[in-house]
Structure 1
Amino acid sequence: MNDATRTGTDGASDLPVDTILRLAAQANAHKSWAATPDRLARTAPGRRAADARFLAQADGDPVRAESLRKAFYADLTAKSIRARRAKAGQRAGADA
């Protein structure tokens, strides 16, 4: 075993440290959301900040701000698709 892996508690599997940390972070995030009684209230500051950012970029024009928001999320979707395809290609190359 190298420095980048740790043996699981059952001793049967070696998991990369980044995988262990990611899983722990995911579990903590789920616990945090489970303890949140009002999700809308918790996320409201972030939504307000995003709205203000798009509105500022649009020089106060709400119609342009909505177009900027749609463009931002379309770009984010495209970036996600590219990342998933690249990851799938890496897995396919590792299996070969």
Structure 2
Amino acid sequence: ALLSLIILYNLPFWPVKSNKFHNFYKALNPEAANLISSHSTLRLQIAKSWVIHKDTIRKKLQSAISTIYFSLDIWTLPNQKLFLGVCIQFVEYDRE
């Protein structure tokens, strides 16, 4: 649930470094104490999530009943790390 929240609302990764953040989600679910221990762990979990959901996304795009529109944004951080943002808009087969 925490990973979905961060992805869906495009939240920053830096709060996972905070002890208060860890105390908050431990209070909500003590069993989740070590699920996200750092921003690196969070990044790895997002990458795993992409691998798991990639086929679902591919199937949705293949069953689109409208034109598929892509918006792209490319940027580089000061440390030379390159990012590509992709937004896709389309109408699904089972939606109106």
TM-score by length of 1: 0.30
Larger radius of gyration: 1
Larger relative contact order, structure 1 or 2 (CA cutoff 8 Å, min sep 6): 2
Structure (1/2) with the larger helix percentage = 1
Q: Which structure's residues are more often strand, by fraction?
A: 2
- Normalised to the residue count of structure 2, the TM-score between the two structures is 0.30
